């Protein structure tokens, strides 16, 4: 039986973005509060009663958060163009092994404006 656990975090960051619509404000340096949630799936360990100790997940996400929080996203190595889509990919790919193999979903959103993106990953083997 597979169970899914998740952990949320947030970060504040600035960026620029070249767009066709709402272009003027997007080209200027501006910032957002981003929220993210990472979902991991796995078997229940009968010895611990857990899929994974959430403390391990929180520690991994604290490392990811430190790479994003109060940074200029345009300058974050490995992120690429600072879109919600690329943030989802970056977060998933930044998870350490073996947690990365358990990631099944990453959601990034900006609560204030209602935007979000969801990355659906392949189910773990």
- Model pLDDT for residues 77-108, shown as the tens digit of each residue: 999 999 999 999 999 999 999 999 999 999 99
pLDDT in tens, 101-113: 999 999 999 999 9
As for how many domains the chain has, the answer is 1
Q: 29 and 50 in contact (C-beta within 8 Å)?
A: no
- 63 phi and psi, to 5 degrees? -65, -40
pLDDT confidence tier of residue 27, bands split at 50, 70 and 90? confident
Question: Is the confidence at residue 125, as pLDDT, over 50?
Answer: no
CATH number at residue 115: 3.30.479.10
**In whole angstroms, what is the distance from residue 56 CA to residue 39 CA?**
13
Place of tokens 């611990």: 48
Whether 125 is covered by a domain: the verdict is no
Whether 70 is covered by a domain: the verdict is yes
Per-residue model confidence (pLDDT) at position 20: 73
Where in the sequence is the domain holding 60, given as residue range(s)? Answer: 2-120
Cis omega before residue 98 (within 30°)?
A: yes
Question: Is the confidence at residue 115, as pLDDT, over 50?
Answer: yes
Whether 78 is covered by a domain: the verdict is yes
**In whole angstroms, what is the distance from residue 89 CA to residue 14 CA?**
18
Whether 51 is covered by a domain: the verdict is yes
């Amino acid at each position: 039986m597979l169970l899914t656990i998740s952990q949320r975090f947030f970060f504040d960051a600035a960026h620029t973005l070249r767009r066709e619509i709402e272009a003027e404000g997007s080209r200027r340096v501006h910032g957002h509060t981003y929220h993210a949630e990472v979902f991991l799936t796995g078997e229940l360990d009968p010895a611990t009663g857990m899929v994974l100790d959430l403390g391990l997940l929180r520690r991994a996400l604290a490392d990811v958060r430190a790479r994003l929080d109060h940074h200029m996203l345009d300058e974050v190595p490995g992120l690429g163009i600072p879109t919600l889509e690329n943030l989802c990919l970056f977060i998933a790919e930044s998870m350490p092994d073996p947690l990365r193999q358990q990631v099944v979903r990453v959601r990034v959103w900006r609560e204030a404006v209602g935007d979000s993106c969801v990355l659906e990953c392949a189910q773990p083997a």
